[in-house]
Amino acid sequence: MPWNRGSHAADGNGAEGPTTPGGSPAAAPGPSGEAGAPSAVAAVPRPAAAAEAPPRETAWRAPDPATRRRVLPDAEAPEETGRTVLVTGASGMLGREVALGLIRGGHRVTAFQRSDAKALKASLGERGRERLHQHRGTLTDPDAVERALDGADAVIHLAAKVSVSGPWEEYEEANVRGTRVLLQLARWAGVRDVVYVSSPSVSHAGSSFMGQANEPADPCAARGNYARSKAYGERLALEADGEDLRVGVVRPHLVWGPGDTQLVERILERASRGGLPLLDQGAALIDSTYVTNAADAIVRCLERIDAAHGRPLVVTNGEPRTVGELLTGMCRAAGVPEPVRRIPSPLARLAGRVIEKVWERRPGEDEPPMTEFLAEQLSTAHWFDQRETREVLDWMPAVSIDAGMERLREYYRG
pLDDT (tens digit per residue) in 208-261: 677 777 888 888 888 788 899 999 999 999 999 999 999 999 999 999 999 999
362 CB neighbour count, 10 Å cutoff: 6
What is the domain count for the chain? 1
% of the chain beyond a pLDDT of 90: 57
Query: What is the per-residue pLDDT for 326?
Result: 94
Say if residues 45 and 355 touch (Cβ distance below 8 Å): yes
Does residue 266 fall inside a structural domain?
A: yes
Query: What is the per-residue pLDDT for 341?
Result: 83
Say if residues 74 and 127 touch (Cβ distance below 8 Å): yes
Does residue 151 fall inside a structural domain?
A: yes
- Measure the CA–CA gap between 125 and 228, rounded to whole angstroms: 40
- Measure the CA–CA gap between 346 and 226, rounded to whole angstroms: 23
Which residue, 146, 153, 139, is CA-closest to 190? 153
Does residue 313 fall inside a structural domain?
A: yes
Condensed to tens digits (0 to 9), the pLDDT of residues 7-27 reads: 333 333 333 333 443 344 433
Query: What is the per-residue pLDDT for 383?
Result: 84
List 226, 232, 290, 412, catalytic entry: 226
CA angle 271, 273, 119 (to 5 degrees): 65
- Burial bucket for residue 366 (CB in 10 Å: 0-12, 13-18, 19+): exposed
Does residue 12 fall inside a structural domain?
A: no
Query: What is the per-residue pLDDT for 89?
Result: 95
Does residue 192 fall inside a structural domain?
A: yes
235 CB neighbour count, 10 Å cutoff: 24
The whole-model pTM stands at 0.84
- Domain hosting residue 380, numbered range: 21-413
- Measure the CA–CA gap between 143 and 94, rounded to whole angstroms: 26
Query: What is the per-residue pLDDT for 274?
Result: 84
Does residue 268 fall inside a structural domain?
A: yes
Query: What is the per-residue pLDDT for 403?
Result: 98
Known catalytic membership, residue 412: no
- Measure the CA–CA gap between 15 and 302, rounded to whole angstroms: 19
Query: What is the per-residue pLDDT for 12?
Result: 35
Does residue 299 fall inside a structural domain?
A: yes
Query: What is the per-residue pLDDT for 157?
Result: 98
Residue 151: which CATH number? 3.40.50.720
Interacting residues of 188 by C-beta distance below 8 A, sequence separation 6+: none
Say if residues 322 and 285 touch (Cβ distance below 8 Å): yes
**Residues of the chain with confidence (pLDDT) below 50:** 1-36, 40-57
Query: What is the per-residue pLDDT for 10?
Result: 37
Does residue 8 fall inside a structural domain?
A: no
- Measure the CA–CA gap between 58 and 318, rounded to whole angstroms: 37
